[in-house]
């Protein structure tokens, strides 16, 4: 007989015994595990997504022209923890909630992601490119960090 067979026999024996002697083997209570659950962020409505695409795409087109950079596509997403990203394929991704941020904060994120087309890292050289295009980038970055809760409201762009 295999180990699996022995385990199955012991489990069956204990189940039978528990049924015969309920005072010795009380029914097991369910175990509830506490899990930290982040509040679910609601996605944008179709109208919000369209409006965000208009606002963000206009900013990207403006700053790409001003910086002399070319990109492939702009994607509007519902990321939980990022404002934007740049792929190796030269695609730019932005959180739809940025459209509700002040234009200066939106411009900072757009410039940041466009500068990744020159430097795909956060080196000193990268930050020099960002600072050249946006000298007040530290204040704009701080505003985004301080106002995350405001931008996560679901009624933005209505």
Along the 158 residues of the chain, how does pLDDT read in single tens digits?
Answer: 688 888 888 888 888 877 777 777 777 766 666 666 665 666 788 888 999 999 999 999 999 999 999 999 999 999 888 899 999 999 999 999 999 999 999 999 999 999 999 999 999 999 999 999 999 999 999 999 999 888 887 566 66
Do residue 96 and residue 127 come from a single domain? yes
Do residue 10 and residue 88 come from a single domain? no
Cβ(105)–Cβ(144) below 8 Å: yes
Do residue 50 and residue 127 come from a single domain? yes
Asked whether residue 37 is domain-assigned, the answer is no
State the CATH number of the domain containing residue 96. 3.30.2010.10
Do residue 52 and residue 27 come from a single domain? no
Report the pLDDT value the prediction gives residue 158, as an integer from 0 to 100. 61
Do residue 60 and residue 19 come from a single domain? no
Cβ(109)–Cβ(130) below 8 Å: no
Q: What is the pTM of this model?
A: 0.72
- Structural domain tally of the chain? 2
Number of alpha helices (DSSP H) and beta strands (DSSP E) in the chain: 6, 3
Domain assignment of residue 126, given as a range: 46-151
Q: Tell me how far apart the alpha carbons of residues 112 and 136 are, in angstroms, rounded to a whole number.
A: 12
Report the pLDDT value the prediction gives residue 5, as an integer from 0 to 100. 83
Asked whether residue 145 is domain-assigned, the answer is yes
Do residue 65 and residue 114 come from a single domain? yes
Report the pLDDT value the prediction gives residue 41, as an integer from 0 to 100. 61
Asked whether residue 26 is domain-assigned, the answer is yes
Report the pLDDT value the prediction gives residue 57, as an integer from 0 to 100. 97
Asked whether residue 41 is domain-assigned, the answer is no
Q: In this structure, what token pair is assigned to residue 102?
A: 């002040």
Q: In this structure, what token pair is assigned to residue 71?
A: 């990109």
């Amino acid at each position: 007989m295999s180990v699996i067979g022995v385990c199955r026999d012991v489990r069956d024996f204990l189940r039978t015994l528990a049924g015969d002697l309920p005072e010795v083997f009380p029914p097991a209570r369910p175990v509830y595990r506490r899990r930290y659950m982040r509040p679910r962020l609601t996605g944008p409505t179709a109208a919000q997504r369209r409006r965000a695409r208009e606002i963000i795409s206009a900013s990207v087109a403006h700053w790409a022209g001003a910086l002399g950079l070319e990109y492939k596509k702009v994607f509007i997403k519902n990321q939980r923890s990022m404002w934007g990203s740049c792929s190796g394929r030269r695609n730019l991704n932005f959180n739809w909630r940025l459209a509700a941020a002040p234009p200066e904060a939106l411009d900072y994120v757009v410039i940041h992601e466009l500068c990744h087309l020159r430097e795909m890292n956060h080196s000193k050289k990268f930050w020099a490119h960002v600072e050249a295009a946006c000298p007040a980038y530290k204040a704009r970055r701080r505003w985004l960090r301080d106002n995350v809760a405001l931008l996560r409201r679901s009624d933005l762009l209505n």
